[in-house]
Structure 1
Amino acid sequence: MIALMLIGGFVIYLAITFAVTVLIVRRFSGRRAKVIAAIISVLVFFLIPMWDVIVGKIYFQYLCEAESGVRVYKTVELGPEYWFPDGRPRFITADGLADKTLLGQRYEFSEEWQENHSEIFHIKRHAHVVTDKQTQQILGRYISFIHFGGWLANSTGLQIRGTGCPSLQEYDYRGFLKQVFKPLSTRN
């Protein structure tokens, strides 16, 4: 039923686009002017439902390049009891999360969600945060963004999931933890 309504709405929108384009083109006398007017008219009618997809994608790419990824504000050196002999961290579980039994007494592992980071462009912000419980200092953030398309897709329910950055292939929470927590350096 919804598909029929969408198809009907699309057909009506195309009919309106065609009718308005014909009215606009009739106002011009030269063939070249009529072609240019028709192209501009069709582009405007195309951009009405799609403008936010284009601008939103540009803004999303900017956020990905400028703000997403790992931000380490302070590294923490951990003693040998936190590391396996081969150098792998003991404080990261098999599924890639921080082992709170080892680090949870001193450090807090939380998440920040901004569901409406950009309400106009349907962009959400998510960050994993590591905080020192004693000093309340944030040690690092791993920031990602999710873009859910334009208003048309969100209004019709056609958009099922968003596009994220860093991508799932680039996502590395373990790497983030290993940048915040380092082996105790031996200084002479």
Structure 2
Amino acid sequence: MSTTQSERLRELLEPLVASQGLDLEEIAVDAVGRKRVLRVVVDSDTGADLDRIAEASRVLSAKLDESDAMGDAEYTLEVGTPGAERSLTEHRHYVRATDRLVRFQLHDGGELVARVLAVDEDGLDLEVPGVKGRKTTTRRLAFGDIDKARVQVEFNRKDTANTKNNDTTEDEEA
């Protein structure tokens, strides 16, 4: 039997989130003045767009209204995604971060920034960017060596999968 409010909420809401094709990543209840805010973070392998989040919010709100999980006090429900710079804590998070740049804090105190190339049950294959003219290298990193990991936002990365050959001129198109 669960004892904390977060555990009870997780038991109540997780099946509903799963029925929407989403994973329940996090639940937090925070006091904001006299009110409380219930924050629910959801995600999926294919991402969670605004329509999916809105539908999940409606389903969760209806279930919370018919239960006494939040008690009688006023609260606000906020449903969202982990965001661009998410922390990686579960195996599925690392899989979803494939081809993304990640900053790793290692158990030995070191730090590494690398692109995730592949993920298996034991760890990650990484592409480590070259520094000061050095070539890019690959590295294997075991999950046991990772203390923390967080996806990094890249503003100037070229998307090689979607680039087209734009060598034609206006005269050639006419």
- Shared fold per TM-score greater than 0.5: no
Q: Which has the higher strand share?
A: 2
Q: Which has the higher helix share?
A: 1
Task: Provide TM-score, normalisation by structure 1.
Answer: 0.25
Tell which has more relative contact order, 1 or 2 (C-alpha 8 A, sep 6+): 1
Report the structure number with the largest CA radius of gyration. Answer: 1
